[in-house]
């Protein structure tokens, strides 16, 4: 019992130490409407031209919604969104590249404190934290490696992440609800682009969402990438059969100070960066901080971009 109390206290201390960095948390919610609209529109399309028309229909619906929402979202209308929901903290699903011709699709899943308001500008106005910026960085780096590659990168904010590093971020309830929404998106993409492989890239808490989605059943996913992750919803890489699990965590990443393991619903088990987990390692720089894996100059970015290419090469 004393050991359990000690572990719980350690988790609480580490989480509390980071609370000033981020706002307090409210319980996560999943809005089914956006996910249902995407799934309902893409389900059952029989031919590539028909599927392309349905994707364009979603783009048009999202554009109309953004214009109706007014500033700042009206200025996003020139971009391509499968879904957009400004209610509450907001949700969005943006596509970078041509989804209808892509030979591989990469989906980026963000972590705590990501909202529609920070989707493009980043938490604290730090651009590298923004899912839209990260998706573009991966797409740009993939094309730098192969200019003729047919790739699409999806920035997916289809769940309500924890508002900050607190109690809910130390538990998996929000991640499980997010994983259900992510699984629905992956099924919709599979309907629109049957046979096209998917790479999932989860950052921090988003890696738990991605991992749980894979374990729930995501047959199109071939590669799961965990960046700065406290866990991914499994005890070891073999818990994800048929999927290659990749992990990156720098020594400068504060997530390394979060105690491994789980107790009474708190904690996320063995981190995928631990040698015992058995994930394939991705390169990091010693100075890479928690939110900088997908920035220019980071050795992790080109490695992740290689996994976004149609033919994923072994590292």
Measure the CA–CA gap between 65 and 112, rounded to whole angstroms. 25
Which of 85 and 313 is assigned the larger pLDDT? 85
Question: pLDDT grade, residue 169 (50/70/90)?
Answer: low
What three-state secondary structure class fits 101? coil
Signed CA dihedral, 261, 266, 267, 269: sign only? positive
CA dihedral 117, 123, 124, 129 (to 10 degrees): -130
251-274 residue pLDDT tens: 998 787 777 766 556 555 689 999
pLDDT per residue as tens digits for the range 27-79: 344 445 798 999 999 999 989 999 999 999 999 999 999 999 999 999 999 99
* Architecture per CATH, 2-307: 3-Layer(aba) Sandwich (3.40)
Domain borders along the chain are: 2-307
pLDDT at 19: 35
Residues whose CB falls within 8 Å of the CB of residue 313, separated by 6 or more in sequence, listed in order: 306
Closest by CA to 231, choosing from 208, 256, 209, 212, is 208
Q: What is the pTM of this model?
A: 0.87
In tens, the pLDDT along 186-215 reads: 999 999 999 999 999 999 999 999 999 999
The two tokens of residue 296 are 């220019």
The predicted pLDDT at position 261 comes to 65
């Amino acid at each position: 019992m004393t050991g359990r109390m000690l572990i719980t206290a350690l988790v609480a201390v580490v989480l509390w130490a980071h609370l000033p960095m981020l706002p307090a948390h409210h319980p996560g919610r999943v809005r089914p409407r956006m996910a249902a609209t995407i799934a309902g529109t893409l389900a059952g399309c029989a031919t590539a031209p028909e599927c392309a028309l349905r994707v364009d229909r979603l783009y048009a619906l999202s554009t109309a919604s953004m214009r109706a929402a007014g500033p700042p979202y009206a200025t996003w209308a020139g971009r391509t969104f499968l879904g957009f929901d400004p209610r509450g903290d907001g949700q969005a699903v943006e596509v970078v590249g041509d989804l209808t011709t892509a030979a591989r699709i990469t989906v980026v899943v963000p972590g705590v404190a990501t909202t529609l308001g920070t989707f493009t500008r980043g938490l604290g106005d730090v651009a590298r934290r923004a899912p839209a910026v990260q998706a573009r960085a991966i797409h740009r780096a993939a094309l730098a490696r192969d200019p003729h590659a047919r790739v699409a990168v999806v920035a997916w904010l289809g769940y309500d992440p924890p508002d900050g590093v607190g109690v809910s971020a130390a538990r998996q309830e929000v991640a499980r609800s997010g994983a259900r929404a992510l699984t629905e998106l992956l099924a919709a993409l599979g309907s629109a682009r049957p046979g096209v492989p998917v790479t999932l890239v989860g950052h921090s808490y988003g890696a738990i969402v991605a991992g749980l989605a894979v374990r729930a059943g995501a047959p199109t996913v071939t590669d799961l990438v965990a960046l700065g992750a406290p866990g991914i919803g499994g005890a070891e890489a073999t818990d994800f059969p048929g999927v290659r699990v990749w992990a990156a965590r720098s020594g400068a990443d504060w997530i390394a100070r979060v105690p491994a393991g789980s107790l009474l619903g708190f904690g996320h088990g063995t981190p995928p960066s631990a040698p015992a987990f058995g994930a394939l390692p991705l390169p990091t720089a010693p100075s890479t901080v928690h939110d900088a894996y997908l920035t220019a100059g980071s050795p992790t970015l080109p490695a992740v971009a290689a996994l976004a290419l149609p033919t994923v090469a072994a590292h």
